[in-house]
C-alpha cells in the first residue's frame, strides 16, 4: 500500500520560505511517472483546498491562482520524494499541508483538485506564517 509522509512544515515570518517534502514508500516499483502528486492545505475553520498538482511524467504542473509565482513543485525520483518550495509566504498560507497521490493523473490545466482523483494521502504537516 502506498504511503506518503510529509515533512518540512514549521513557523516562518511573512515573506519567508519553506520547502515541504512528500516521501512515498510501501509500493514496490513506485515511480512518479505514473502518479501525480497533489498538494492541498486546510486552514483553521476552512475546507481543504488544492494548491498544486505535479505530474513528473510529462503531464505538467498546475498551481492554484493564489500561489502562482510563489510556490514551485519538483520531484526527485531517486528518492521517491516530491517537494513544494514555498517562497514569499503570507499569513493566509497558514494551514495543514497534505500531499496526495493521483494515479495516472495529468496535471497540465488541472484546476478542480477533486479529492476523489487522489487515492493515497499523507498525514499532513503544519505551516504557520506569522510575525
23-78: pLDDT as tens digits: 998 877 777 788 899 999 999 999 999 999 999 777 899 999 999 999 999 999 88
Which CA distances in Å does 125 have to 28, 108, 111? 25, 26, 23
SS3 content of the chain, % helix, strand, coil (to 5): 10, 50, 45
Smallest CA-to-CA distance from 32 within 80, 94, 66 is with 80
Percent of the chain with pLDDT over 70: 99
Q: Residue 13 pLDDT more than 80? A: yes
Amino acid at each position: 500500500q502506498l504511503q506518503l509522509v510529509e515533512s518540512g512544515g514549521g513557523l516562518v515570518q511573512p515573506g519567508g520560505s519553506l520547502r515541504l517534502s512528500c516521501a512515498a514508500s510501501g509500493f514496490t516499483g513506485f515511480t512518479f511517472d505514473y502518479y501525480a502528486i497533489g498538494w492541498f492545505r486546510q486552514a483553521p475553520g476552512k475546507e481543504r483546498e488544492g494548491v498544486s498538482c505535479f505530474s513528473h511524467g510529462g503531464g505538467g504542473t498546475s498551481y492554484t491562482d493564489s500561489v502562482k509565482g510563489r510556490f514551485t513543485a519538483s520531484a526527485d525520483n531517486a528518492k521517491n520524494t516530491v517537494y513544494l518550495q514555498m517562497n514569499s509566504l503570507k499569513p493566509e498560507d497558514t494551514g495543514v499541508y497534505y500531499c496526495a497521490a493521483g494515479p495516472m493523473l495529468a496535471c497540465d490545466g488541472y484546476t478542480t483538485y477533486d479529492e476523489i482523483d487522489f487515492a493515497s494521502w499523507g498525514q499532513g504537516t503544519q505551516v504557520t506564517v506569522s510575525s
